[in-house]
Amino acid sequence: YREIQKMSKTKHRDEESKRRLEQVAKFNNNLQRNEVLTLHYLGLPYVVLSRSPLLRLKVPLSTFNYQDGESWGIALQLVFTCPLNYPLQVPQVELVERRNVSAELELSLRAEIASTLEKHLGLYMIVAVITQLQLLLNNVARRLPL
């Protein structure tokens, strides 16, 4: 009889644990959806590359003086890949399609990404990273000759 009670308690605990995991996954999914909506409401350009199994977004950034094909101004795209438990874990951020991005600037961008992700762990991170990198790019552009 005691064995049956133990098995019943174990089964109940397993079901409870599974239910909690599903609730956390649903909560994190809602947070990810809300962050995409925040990008939309702020008028920031983005493309959703995938929503499942992982949220992947592509976000373009450029300086005010960037002209495609020209040697001045700076442009790049960020690809965010969010883990299932984002924002409790940081997203992977790739710098792609870089135009006129020096090695020194790339290091600065990567350092700013790491710093911003660390500061915002557990909160919305994508909008914060985009905002900080745009500020950094604008500051660099102000120092460039026109």
User: Tokens standing for 91?
Assistant: 């997203």
Listed ranges 9-13, 74-78, 141-145; the one with the highest mean pLDDT: 74-78
pTM: 0.81
The confidence score (pLDDT) of residue 145 equals 58
Q: Distance between CA 113 and CA 130 in Å, rounded?
A: 9
> CATH no. for residue 40?
3.10.110.10
Question: In the chain, what percentage of residues exceed pLDDT 70?
Answer: 89
Give the mean pLDDT of 1-26: 75
pLDDT digits (tens, 9 = 90+) for 28-80: 788 888 899 999 999 999 999 998 888 999 999 998 878 776 677 899 999 99
The confidence score (pLDDT) of residue 1 equals 66
Is pLDDT larger for residue 97 or for residue 68?
Answer: 97
The confidence score (pLDDT) of residue 42 equals 92
| 28: containing domain | 2-143
> Are the CB atoms for 122 and 88 separated by under 8 Å?
yes
- Give how many domains the chain has, as a whole number: 1
pLDDT digits (tens, 9 = 90+) for 112-125: 999 999 999 988 89
Q: How many CA atoms lie within 13 A of 51 on its CB side?
A: 9
Give the mean pLDDT of 84-100: 92
